[in-house]
Amino acid sequence: MAKRESKFLADWKITFLPGFVVLALVLALQFFGFSLFTNLGQLIFDSYQRAEPRQYEEAPVRIVDIDEESIRRFGQWPWPRTQMAVLARKLGDAGVSAIAFDIVFSEPDRTSPPLIAEALAGQGDARLIDTLRALPDNDDQFSKTTGELPIVSGFFLTRDPKRAQAMPKAGFAYSGTPPSQSLPAYSNAIMPLPGLEAASTGLGSLTLQGDSDGIIRRAPLLARQGDQILPSLSLEALRVAQGAGSILVKTSDGSGNISGNVSGGGLSEVDSLKVGQFVIPTNGAGELWMYYTAPRPERVIPAWNILSGELSPAEMERLFAGQIVFIGTGAIGLRDLVATPLQDRELGVMVHAQAAEQMILGRFLTRPDWADGLERTLVIALGLVLLLLLPRLGAAKGAALGLFLAALTLAGSWYAFHREHFLLDPTYPMLVVLAVYLTETLLTYYREERRRRYIHGAFDRYLSPELVNRIAADPRQLELGGEERQMSVLFCDIRSFSRISEALSPQDIIGFLIGFLTPMCDVLLARKATIDKFIGDAILAFWNAPLDDPEQYQNAARSALAMLARLKQLNVEMPGKAGQPWPGDVAIGIGLNAGPCCVGNMGSAQRLSYSLIGDTVNLASRIEGLTKYYGIPIAIGQALHEQIPDFAVIEVDLVQVVGRDRPEAISALIGDESLAASPEFQAFAAAHAAMLAAYRAQDWETALGRLDGTRAEAASFGLENVQDLFRKRIAALAKSPPAADWNGVFVATEK
């Protein structure tokens, strides 16, 4: 557990700093309002509106549309102002509460009789010209009608250098500091004719400014020209409809919002507006977040229906009594088209009308004053959660966590819209999830690739390619550092290597060792061995680490037998081979043992080596040394003997090796399972076991008899040296008998 904890901490340190930098970068983008992600947040809000538009409710708002049919019936545009006066008068007679023109009457009516008279002066009948001059001016008649009705005239605000100042009809009162610097600013106004402006009950701005993609998401209720604050057409129509004299503006000090229209901290921003009985929440720039309905035909009445008289007085009263009526032009060539989240091509007058509906019905989309704080807190919280958890999770679990957090954020934003009509932007919280996840994933990938390269570099030289690939694919199989395992250990040494070295030059010694060690290692690696090290001419190898090997004991035994077989081939192939020094008939001794070992990366901070230590290893080395004494090629310890009962194994002796107090039963590995099953081997094994029993019982005569009776068989199994050794011992012990408690243990005096 401690190792896993320290591995986690190391991985966490590697990934935390870059992840924290990414988190800080997302916070900076959020604070300063990077346009790309701000626009993405707006598109998300658009999708919410398309999924759940505002439900249409009957509200005292109507649109009178000068549509194609109206133009066809009553002539091309612009209509005479007398016609507009008739239209306004009919609406006034129906009892409207306000008439708002989404049209700017900034030029004199060219069909006005006095203007026609001026145009004909000196060119026609003087009496006709005088008659025309005596007729009423169309604009004067329209202005007279305007003065008698609750009419709001429209004007356009522009940023042209020419400066015409708009003067509002509405008064403004403030709760807080006047918000002049936070409102959208304009330098010029295109105003109605002076007479019409003076006669109007109200004046409202028609200017609608979309976001960078042209979509109208917010209706400006206030604007600024110089130091003068001006109302929008919809806000002014609502004031006039109630007969209110002023608009109350509530302000506070703020630091911007998602629209990006407010320049920064320290400015007085608009919180809300109060017009008569209605309170309207706005963003800091005095804009109303538009919550559009789907198109509703009952909201719009064509102008020709009214002018033609097809609507009876009762029908007119039913449709228009108490209504705020917006008059706009929907005919092709006249229409003022804008884009909204629901419609790519919508009449501008529709935006003003729906803004008035929202203000009357109290159906608002709002960005609460705590929204920015919540979104920044989410960015920090989600970023830290991922920074802490991703190093503990794999790629699949990390991706699942990231998707879950992003989906949870989006679902929370949608729920806030659906339930409370709050606009909570999920963009930056989802961005930090994506950015931190990608950063952590790339760093993890880099770390894992580096670890794989390290594993390949560390193990390629002493593991089979199959095992190296398995470890690299799943490093969790490898516990770096020391761990205790049940293992099999092999020591292999070249007989008389000192004599061989004396006869060869240093360069030839290296060539000989390469020619010997390479095929020996091929044999070991083919049977899942791990090559620990080369000690001069000796090989140390082991099984069951770093990966589990359920057949470690069998693989160790087969490897030793295969090494002998391969060396036999080399002794035939190598002598006389060009460029390959080979000192005649080479012999080896192999010691095998099994038992608990501590294995792992060991050494110093400067140099590590994957190796193993323990009594099992020391005993394997001593057993290899005993092969010289007994004249056998492969000697194994008792623990390994017990694990390979089906192999051809003959117990050789009980030995107390140097450095140990407890004796060890040393055996000779003769062959594999097929040899062990042969009748010849089984008969010899039984006779040899009987010889050992007689020897340890100090029955010298019987022991010698067993030795003499199996001389030929012992030679066939390579144990003639063992028998000769026991004959000498028996002769010596017969002359000088051991103590009564003698147990047959041979005490070795050399390693």
Maximum distance among all Cα pairs of the chain, rounded to whole angstroms: 171
Which residue stretches of 321-394 are H helix? 348-361, 371-389
Intra-chain end-to-end CA distance of the chain, in Å: 39
Q: How many Å separate Cα 453 from the centre of its chain?
A: 25
The tokens describing 180, both together, are 């002049």
Higher-pLDDT residue of 434 and 271 is 271
C-alpha dihedral (498, 500, 506, 512), degrees to nearest 10 = -120
Residues facing 531 on adjacent strands = 541
Which comes out higher in pLDDT, residue 86 or 389?
A: 86
- Please name the residue that has the structure tokens 């082991």: 542
Instruction: Report the C-alpha dihedral over residues 23, 24, 25, 27, rounded to 10 degrees.
Output: 90
Cβ-based burial of 312 (10 A; exposed 0-12, middle 13-18, buried ≥19): exposed
Going by pLDDT thresholds of 50, 70 and 90, the confidence category of residue 335 is confident
Q: How confident is the model at residue 483 (pLDDT cuts 50, 70, 90)?
A: confident
- The answer, yes or no, to whether residue 656 has pLDDT greater than 70, is yes
659/405: higher pLDDT: 405
pLDDT reading at 660 higher than 60: yes
CATH class of 479-611: alpha beta
Secondary structure of residue 331 in the 3-state scheme: coil
Higher model confidence: residue 153 or residue 448? 153
What is the rounded distance in angstroms from the CA atom of residue 440 to the CA atom of residue 391? 8
| DSSP codes joined into one string, 82-144 | HHHHHHHHHHHHTT-SEEEESS---S--TT-HHHHHHHHTTTS-HHHHHHHHHSPPHHHHHHH
pLDDT in tens, 681-691: 999 999 999 99
* pLDDT band with cut points at 50, 70 and 90 for residue 264: very low
Q: Which of 327, 353, 355 is nearest to 67 (CA)?
A: 327
Give CA 604 to chain center in angstroms: 38
Task: Compare 201 and 606 and report the one with higher pLDDT.
Answer: 201
Query: With 70 as the cut, is the pLDDT of residue 122 above it?
Result: no
**What is the rounded distance in angstroms from the CA atom of residue 34 to the CA atom of residue 410?**
20
Question: How many whole angstroms separate alpha carbon 221 and alpha carbon 279?
Answer: 13
Q: How deeply is 516 buried, as exposed, middle or buried, from its count of CB atoms within 10 A (0-12, 13-18, 19+)? A: buried
What mean pLDDT comes out for the span 276-291? Answer: 94
Angstrom distances, CA of residue 373 to CA of 27, 118, 377, 424: 11, 66, 6, 11
For the stretch 493-523, pLDDT in tens is 999 998 888 888 989 999 999 999 999 999 9
Among 375-379, 474-478, 736-740, the minimum mean pLDDT is found in 474-478
User: What is the structure's pLDDT at 751?
Assistant: 63
Three-state SS sequence of 159-213: CCCCCCCCCCCCEEEEECCCCHHHCCEECEEECCCHHHHHHCCEEEECCCCCCCC
Q: Are 477 and 471 in contact (CB under 8 A)?
A: yes
Note the pLDDT of residue 5. 46
* Average pLDDT of the segment spanning 224-242: 95
- 372 three-state secondary structure: helix
Residue 208 confidence (pLDDT): 93
pLDDT given at position 604: 61
Residue 274 pLDDT > 50, yes or no? yes
DSSP, collapsed to helix, strand or coil, labels residue 607 as: coil
Q: Which residues contact 662 (CB under 8 A, 6 or more apart)?
A: 656
Does residue 419 surpass a pLDDT of 50?
A: yes
What is the rounded average pLDDT for all residues in the chain? 87
Reading the block at residue 234, the tokens are 């919809």
Q: What are the DSSP calls for 19-70, one per residue?
A: HHHHHHHHHHHHHHT-HHHHHHHHHHHHHHHHHSPBPP---SEEEEEE-HHH
Lowest mean pLDDT among 251-255, 277-281, 368-372, 576-580: 251-255
Q: How many CA atoms lie within 13 A of 9 on its CB side?
A: 6
Q: Please state the rounded mean pLDDT for residues 555-563.
A: 97
- Residues 326-345 have a mean pLDDT of 90
Position 699 scores a pLDDT of 93
CA dist 31 and 350 (Å) reads: 34
**Residue 115: pLDDT band with limits 50, 70, 90:** confident
Per-residue confidence (pLDDT) for residue 141, from 0 to 100: 93
pLDDT recorded at residue 467 = 56
Q: What is the mean pLDDT of residues 485-490?
A: 96
Whether the per-residue pLDDT at 740 is higher than 70: the answer is yes
| Residue 457 CB contacts under 8 Å (≥ 6 apart), including other chains | none
* 140 band by pLDDT with thresholds 50, 70 and 90: very high
Residue with tokens 């006249």: 334
Distances (CA, A) of 124 to 116, 118, 121, 136, 714: 11, 11, 7, 20, 150
Cβ atoms of 696 and 741 within 8 Å: the answer is: no
Residue 225 CB coordination number (10 Å): 22
Q: How far is CA 482 from CA 148, 173, 613, 686, in A?
A: 99, 80, 9, 43
Q: 435-453 pLDDT, tens per residue?
A: 888 877 777 777 777 766 7
Q: Name the DSSP letter for residue 585.
A: S
pLDDT of residue 397: 83
Instruction: Report residue 542: phi and psi, to 5°.
Output: -150, 165
Give the pTM. 0.63
Helical (H) or strand (E) element with 229: strand 228-231
Structure tokens at 677: 């099953």
Contact by Cβ (8 Å): 307, 88: no
How large is the average pLDDT for residues 288-293?
Answer: 95
Rounded CA gap, 91 and 13, in Å?
A: 74
What distance in Å separates the CA atoms of residue 396 and residue 46, rounded to the nearest whole number?
Answer: 32
Confidence check: pLDDT of 14 > 70: no
What percent of the chain has a predicted confidence (pLDDT) above 90?
61
The pair of structure tokens assigned to 242 is: 């109630």
Q: What is the pLDDT of residue 459?
A: 57
**pLDDT score of 581:** 92
Dist. CA 225–CA 736, nearest whole Å: 128
Q: What is the pLDDT of residue 39?
A: 80
Q: Tell me the C-alpha to C-alpha distance, in Å, between residue 505 and each of 501, 511, 579, 582.
A: 7, 10, 13, 12
**Rounded Cα–Cα distance for residues 370 and 377 (Å):** 11
Q: How confident is the model at residue 150 (pLDDT cuts 50, 70, 90)?
A: very high
CA-CA-CA-CA dihedral for 639, 642, 645, 651, to nearest 10: 70
Helix axes 313-320, 81-93, angle to 10 degrees: 80
Omega of the bond prior to 78 within 30 degrees of 0, cis? yes
- 5 with 351: CB under 8 angstroms? no
Which segment, 9-13, 144-148, 265-269, is predicted with the most confidence on average? 144-148
Residue 15 and residue 28: Cα distance in Å, rounded?
Answer: 20
Confidence of residue 577 (pLDDT cuts 50, 70, 90): confident
Nearest to 418 by CA among 51, 58, 44, 41: 51
113-137 average pLDDT score: 72
Which pLDDT belongs to residue 603?
65
Q: For position 610, what pLDDT does the model report? A: 75
Average pLDDT over residues 596-601: 88
User: CA–CA separation, 686 vs 692, rounded Å?
Assistant: 10
Span 167-172, average pLDDT: 94
Backbone angles phi, psi at 244, to 5 degrees: -80, 150
